[in-house]
Amino acid sequence: MKMTMRWFGEGNDRVSLEDIKQIPGVEGVVWSLHDVPAGEEWPMDKIKEVKAQADKHGFNIDVVESVNVHEDIKLGLPTRDQYIDNYIKTIEKLAKVGVKVICYNFMPVFDWTRTNLFEEMDDGSTALFFEKEKIENIDPIELVNSISENSAYTMPGWEPERLEHLADLFEQYKDVTEEDLWANLQYFLERIIPVAKENDIKMGIHPDDPPFSVFGLPRIITNKENLQRFLNLVDDPYNGLTLCSGSLGANPNNDVPDMVREFADRVHFAHIRNVKIYENGDFIETSHRTKDGSVDIYDVVRAYHEKGFNGYARPDHGRHIWGEECRPGYGLYDRGLGVMYLWGIWDSLERNEGKDNV
């Protein structure tokens, strides 16, 4: 397992590369060009700038999260080909600096949905929270305004240039079915996977977050059956998964360790985090510890170990603890604790490999 940490770039994050360097076992930073709008070709000078910054601290930049997919591609509009062409050019540029994995998603409008960025927990920490009833009864534009007012940061998937056209996007998606989305995804994959393979970059789609429809929008990367269907669209090792235990784990019917065991050879990037699901369908992001949430993180890590996983992983989101002011979901402290929890499980499995009492 190759441990990484997400980093939002110099001047765009309170977390520095110097901070990340002090977390044991972290080899690389997961990055993106957050100021480049979805659909545009990434400038080579900006890519090289990130590489130079990471090289200075001894980090690889093997994983990019994300090269966002333009909405016209998801909608299947005639303009999609020009945006796919730009995506292909970006893949080719990223290969030149050694990128090995690109994480992306195919979620309409929102990359993720929460109702509260700083829900207080019993121990005084705060975390991202999803209130099911609120989602069912709130106008999405009202939610966006509420979320934006409570964050000092531009958040991935909620970029202003995308959300300012929110009403138009919902109008465009009103007649788009799940089958339409599947067809548009296949079209995209058939264009990009041959290029990714030629450039030795593996594509890892991120599950929908949460893994069910919100605001009536179609969602398709949601469960084991759909993960298999996705992999069959273009059955090539370069077409794979970013398997997120927290996203998939928000549905209690999803057995995440089982998915790891089933698809490990096509998992190019592992997002490992925990969520606690309430009986009414609400959920909150917790510490990584199995005992604190609804996902058996121990068994998730054990499944990766059993399958000999040597791909990239990151602790994904964390709580906001010890008074830290940070980007929602991306506090340094709790993610650092998460790294050590994951390494603790992994090291114990390594130590006891072959013993019956593990």
Q: Please provide the size of the chain in residues.
A: 358
**Sign of the alpha-carbon dihedral angle for 50, 206, 84, 191:** positive
Helix, strand, coil in percent for the chain, rounding step 5: 40, 15, 45
165 classed as catalytic = no
> Which candidate in 72, 111, 299, 316 is catalytic?
316
Backbone angles phi, psi at 234, to 5 degrees: -135, 100
- Taking alpha carbons only, the member of 261, 266, 286, 267 closest to residue 276 is 286
**Residue 269 · residue 103 · CB < 8 Å:** yes
> Which candidate in 312, 317, 333, 334 is catalytic?
317
Tokens of 341: 């929890």
**Residue 315 · residue 302 · CB < 8 Å:** no
55 classed as catalytic = no
> Which candidate in 271, 288, 305, 320 is catalytic?
271
206 classed as catalytic = yes
Who contacts 296 (Cβ-Cβ below 8 Å, separation ≥6)? Answer: 256, 257, 290
Report the C-alpha gap between 192 and 185 in whole angstroms. 11
13 classed as catalytic = no
The CA distances from residue 80 to 69, 84, 87, 281, 351, in Å, are: 10, 6, 10, 36, 50
- Taking alpha carbons only, the member of 295, 298, 223, 310 closest to residue 264 is 310
Surface-to-core class of residue 56, CB atoms within 10 Å of its CB (0-12 exposed, 13-18 middle, 19+ buried): exposed
> Which candidate in 312, 330, 333, 341 is catalytic?
330
316 classed as catalytic = yes
> Which candidate in 70, 103, 206, 282 is catalytic?
206
> Which candidate in 70, 103, 173, 244 is catalytic?
244
Q: Which residues are catalytic?
A: 206, 244, 271, 316-317, 330
